[in-house]
Amino acid sequence: MTALVEPRRSGAREREAKPRRYLMCPPAYFGVSYRINPWMRPAVPVDRDLAGRQWDQLRATYVALGHEVEIIKPAAGLPDMVFAANAGLVVDGKVLTARFRHDERRGEEAPYRAWFATNGFGAVRTGAHVNEGEGDFAVVGDMILAGTGFRSDPESHDEVAEFFGRPVVSLRLVDDRYYHLDTALCVLDDEQIAYYPAAFDDGGRVTLEELFPDAIRVTDADAEVLGCNAASDGYHVVVPAGAHEFGEQLAAAGYEPIFVDLSELRKAGGAAKCCTLELRADAAKPRTAQRGSHTQGNAS
């Protein structure tokens, strides 16, 4: 595999927090009534009130950090609508909305699409191929990392590259506990990521090692509490409680970890990032790829 973008080296430098704009959905109808990933066990009771308090704490943390949080009204019968990150990908004010893999989540598509259409986003396109938004797409500076293997189709990676005009690097996930890219990889700033190597195939690991030689490698124990499902503003990193070593690694790299307990939402396979869709409205000039605009981490 030949990378089409330059390797990211973070080095020892001062971290900078940048204000973000997020979209979130309260867990008013949250529950685990079906099973579409290994975390979901309908027989295990869910405390919706506790989930609501944990979500409130996450939102309050973002606000306290100076971020803007938009709220979409939840819809009855859509227990996973709380996981706003899966609703689409927003870059430079353009939106590619999700096309979900499973029937159980397809009802979320229309309310999120309507929200974008009525909230100042002029270019809103529904994905032609199965894609699950920021669940499987991670913006790192001017490139986009893209996951496949369990949810988003590989063809959606080409669609993202064409629509946003940015280099897209494909990565294949191989452990169904880490069914979305954002359960196995976290963007820390425009040059740095953290990821759980065992979630990726050999080609994906080689790709990440080449592109991000200074990346933080997350341990088994921290991955198992969805520690990678974190949200960063470039300095503060909101991390699911229990990812202790990851917090130490972040602090050693110059970030400030902030732990939030999202254990109830984890029963459905989500944590901080899953609840948080970033609304990127500011255009940034993408780096010109060396050869084309799209590369895959492996040949499959």
Catalytic hit among 25, 67, 157, 180: 180
Q: Is 226 left (phi over 0), alpha (psi -120 to 50) or beta?
A: left
Residue 157 CA, chain-centre distance (Å), reads 15
Torsion from C-alpha of 46, 48, 51, 55, nearest 10 degrees: 150
180 is catalytic: yes
The end-to-end CA distance of the chain, in Å, is: 12
**Contact yes or no for 177/171 (Cβ under 8 A):** no
pLDDT for residue 14 = 87
Strand partners, 225: none
274 is catalytic: yes
* CA 268 – CA 283 distance, rounded (Å): 34
pLDDT for residue 265 = 98
Q: Whole-model pTM?
A: 0.90
* CA 212 – CA 205 distance, rounded (Å): 10
Catalytic hit among 25, 186, 228, 274: 274
pLDDT for residue 291 = 24
Q: Could you read off the pLDDT tens digit of each residue along the chain, which spans 300 residues?
A: 233 566 766 655 689 999 999 999 999 999 999 999 999 999 999 999 999 999 999 999 999 999 999 999 999 999 999 999 999 999 999 999 999 999 999 999 999 999 999 998 989 999 999 999 999 999 999 999 999 999 999 999 999 999 999 999 999 999 999 999 999 999 999 999 999 999 999 999 999 999 999 999 999 999 999 999 999 999 999 999 999 999 999 999 999 999 999 999 999 999 999 999 999 985 433 333 322 233 434 333
